[in-house]
Amino acid sequence: MASSHMEGDALIWFQNVVDGGLCRDWEAFSRALLLHFGHTAYDDPLEALTRLKQTSTVASYMNQFEGLANRLRGLSDSQKLSCFLNGLKDEIRIPVRMLCPVNLNVAYGLSKMQEEYLPSIRKAAKSTGERTTSMGGGNYSTGLYSTDYSNKWYQSHPTSKAMLR
């Protein structure tokens, strides 16, 4: 009966257990199942959550983040928000953090918007020859904010000239 609800790795494991005659009753089967697929004593979801980094889309990162966060009890909303922002790619994290999201849902929404906006910025920068993520004396353009930090702007403003000296 249990095998009809299994697929992939679980089904392969189950077939090996049955073929090996390892589980003769429900109690033995439950222990073997938890031993093979359950969390170990060395599993630390808080460590995993704080080390989690976005490697693909924001949605994929959020799914991984929520999976780990749901295993933790007592984590405050501000702690979750901080962990979430910390794991985002720089090109998404920095502009989102500048907007001071008040909770995880707002941060997620802003992150999705920034992710959707990045290709258009890269395309525009490519057509004009601008650099999009370097502040090295030129334009710094990440999406939600785009500012010219070159010395030319500061030199053309009287109040800024004194700051450059």
Point out which residues pair with 17 in neighbouring strands.
none
Model pTM score: 0.58
Q: How far apart are CA 103 and CA 34, in angstroms?
A: 35
Residues 6+ apart with CB under 8 A from 59: 112
pLDDT digits (tens, 9 = 90+) for 72-118: 989 999 999 999 999 999 999 999 999 999 999 999 999 999 999 99
The neighbouring-strand residues paired with 139 are: 148
For residue 138, what pLDDT is reported? Answer: 44
- Residue whose entry in the numeric block shows the structure tokens 């589980």: 23
Spatial separation of the C-alpha atoms in residues 39 and 42, rounded to whole Å = 8
- DSSP H or E segment with residue 109: helix 104-128
Q: Report the sign of the C-alpha dihedral through residues 150, 156, 160, 162, in that order.
A: positive
Structure token pair of residue 42: 């060395």
CB distance 81 to 108 below 8 Å = no
At 28-81, the pLDDT tens digits run 777 777 777 766 656 788 999 999 999 999 999 999 999 999 989 899 999 999
